[in-house]
Amino acid sequence: MVRTVPDPVFGEVTIPGFPFKYSEFPELPNLQAPLLGEHNAEVLRQQLGYSEAQISALRAKGILFVGNT
């Protein structure tokens, strides 16, 4: 009921496992949460239509977080 998963910041972490097991789905799903701000540029570009110049300007001003800490 407990499993270890990789975390890009903390390394290996122990988390609760799934209480249900299904024969049709023997593989456990990938449980890696995105890093803070990991998909900011993608969302701004694809969903809101921002240009690369607009995204770069937000990064330069410190408005758009980039990093993994």
7-34 pLDDT per residue, tens:
888 889 898 877 777 777 767 666 777 8
Domain spans of the chain? Answer: 37-64
pTM above 0.75, yes or no: no
Alpha-carbon distance of 5 to 26, in angstroms, equals 17
Spatial neighbors of 7 by CB under 8 A, at least 6 apart, are 13, 32
37-56 pLDDT per residue, tens:
889 999 999 999 999 999 99
Alpha-carbon distance of 13 to 47, in angstroms, equals 33
Cα separations (Å) of 40 from 19, 27, 31, 56, 69? 33, 30, 20, 11, 15
How many Å separate Cα 40 from the centre of its chain? 11
Structure token digits, residue 25: 């789905």
